[in-house]
Chain A
C-alpha cells in the first residue's frame, strides 16, 4: 500500500477514560483521551496494557472503533465472563481512570477513502469494531464509496452500534443484519449464519472487484472467507482480522 510511513519505535502512552457507553448488555465503548495522539487509520488497533499494584501485567489488543478525532480514541470491548482484562475494562473503568496503550498499529487491515471501493464489510459480533471505524471515516470524509456492511449478531439487543448504523443507512451505505439466535417479533431479515447464498444476495458481484474486510471470531472469519472465495471473489481482495476463538 502506498505511503507506508516509517513510524518510529512504539512506546506505551497513557490513556485517560473520558466516557463509557453501554452498546449492548455485554458490550461497552470506552472513549480515551490520549495526549499526543497522532491520529490513526480505520482498521488499525492498539495494544492495551494494564498493570496491577503488585506489578502483574496483562496485555490485549483492541481495534479502534472511532474515526480519527484529535486525541480521542474509542475502543469497543465485549465482556468475556471468565476473562481477565475485558471484565475490568467493561465493568470497572470510570472517567478519570488510566490505562496504557501502544499504537496505532496494523497497516495491513486498513481502509482509507482514497482507496475507493466498492466495499464489502462482513462482521461477526464484536468484529464490527474496526469496520465501524471504516464506516465512520467514510462519513467524515464525505465519501460516496458504495459500501455494504453484513453484520452477524445473536439478537437485536446484541447489535453493536445499532442506532448509529440505522441512521447512516443510505447514501451509498447498505447495512444488512443477520440475527442468528433470536429475532424480534416481525423480523423479516436473515436468521442464519453468513453463508454463500447470503453473500451472493448482499453482494457486490465479484466482477466488481470489491475490497472485502472480514472481522470476528476465527471460526466466523474462516467460514466467511471460504464462502467468498467459493462465490468467486478474488482471495487477494479479501482481508481478514481474526479475533481468536471467542472473538472478545
Chain B
C-alpha cells in the first residue's frame, strides 16, 4: 500500500532540495545537527594528544600545545551527512594532515582514524593527503564545541561526514584496510557522496 499523503505537509522551510553543489539525495540545511554514536567525551587539554602510529618509521605524538603550534589554515567546505542533510560553506580552522604526515615514512595504503570513546573510521591513506583532510579545532571562528567533536575532530569533506571522526586522537596507518565502527555494520567502506555510496553494495 503506498503511503498516505498528509494534506499540507512539507519539508521544513529553509531546507532545500539542493542544486548542483549538493550530491544526489541530499537536502540543504542551515542547522548543524548533532549526531553521536556515544556519550560526549571530555578529555582535558593537558591530557589530550594526537598520535600517528602503525606502519610508520616511528610514531609521532603532539601534545595540545605542540599541536596548536603547528601551522594551521582556515578552510570553507561543504558537509554531506549520510542521513541526507548537507550544510554548505562551513568555516573551519585546522592543521592539514599533510603537515602532520610531513617526514613520516610509510608504505601503508590505509588509515584508521581513532577517537576518544572508541569510534573508528577507515579510508585509503591517499584520501587524507594532498590537501583533502584536516584535524580541525575551530568552527565558525570559535573553538570547536564538545558536542561537535571538540577539542579536535577530523575534517574530510569529500566523503560522507561519518568519515570525519569527532574527538579524534590519532591516525593508525595500515598495510591492509580495516573497516571501522560503521563500515562493519552496513555503511559503505568508502563513502563518496557524489556516487551516493551510503551502504554496502551501493
Residues of A within 8 A of B (CB): 12, 14, 49-54, 56-58, 82-84, 88, 92, 97-100
Question: Separation in Å of the A166 CB from the closest CB of chain B?
Answer: 35
Question: Separation in Å of the A9 CB from the closest CB of chain B?
Answer: 14
Question: Separation in Å of the A92 CB from the closest CB of chain B?
Answer: 5
In the bound complex, residues from chain A placing their C-beta under 8 Å from that of B3 are 12, 49, 51, 57, 100
Bound: A14/B7 CA distance, A: 13
A88 to B9, Cβ gap below 8 A?
Answer: yes
In the bound complex, residues from chain A placing their C-beta under 8 Å from that of B7 are 92, 97-98
Bound: A52/B8 CA distance, A: 7
Question: Separation in Å of the B30 CB from the closest CB of chain A?
Answer: 10
B5 to A52, Cβ gap below 8 A?
Answer: yes
B5 to A51, Cβ gap below 8 A?
Answer: yes
Residues of B within 8 A of A (CB): 1, 3-12, 15
| A14-B4, A50-B9, A58-B9 given; 15 more Cβ-contact pairs under 8 Å | A12-B3, A50-B6, A51-B9, A52-B9, A52-B11, A53-B5, A53-B10, A58-B11, A84-B15, A92-B8, A92-B9, A97-B7, A98-B6, A99-B4, A100-B6
Bound: A53/B10 CA distance, A: 8
B4 to A51, Cβ gap below 8 A?
Answer: yes
Question: Which chain A residue has the least Cβ–Cβ distance from B3?
Answer: A51
B6 to A51, Cβ gap below 8 A?
Answer: yes
Question: Separation in Å of the A36 CB from the closest CB of chain B?
Answer: 13
Of B1, B5, B8, the contact of A88 (CB 8 Å cutoff): B8
Bound: A99/B11 CA distance, A: 15
Of B1, B6, B10, B15, the contact of A99 (CB 8 Å cutoff): B6
In the bound complex, residues from chain B placing their C-beta under 8 Å from that of A99 are 4, 6
B11 to A100, Cβ gap below 8 A?
Answer: no
Question: Separation in Å of the B156 CB from the closest CB of chain A?
Answer: 27
Question: Separation in Å of the B24 CB from the closest CB of chain A?
Answer: 15
Of A54, A84, A97, the contact of B6 (CB 8 Å cutoff): A97
Most central of A52, A83, A92, A98 by chain B CB within 10 Å? A52
A84 to B11, Cβ gap below 8 A?
Answer: yes
In the bound complex, residues from chain A placing their C-beta under 8 Å from that of B12 are 82-84
Bound: A88/B5 CA distance, A: 13
In the bound complex, residues from chain B placing their C-beta under 8 Å from that of A49 are 3
In the bound complex, residues from chain A placing their C-beta under 8 Å from that of B1 are 12
Bound: A14/B2 CA distance, A: 11
Bound: A129/B16 CA distance, A: 33
Would you mind naming 21 contact pairs between A and B with Cβ atoms under 8 Å apart?
A49-B3, A50-B6, A50-B9, A51-B3, A51-B5, A51-B6, A52-B5, A52-B6, A52-B9, A52-B10, A52-B11, A53-B10, A56-B11, A57-B3, A82-B12, A92-B7, A98-B4, A98-B7, A99-B4, A100-B3, A100-B4
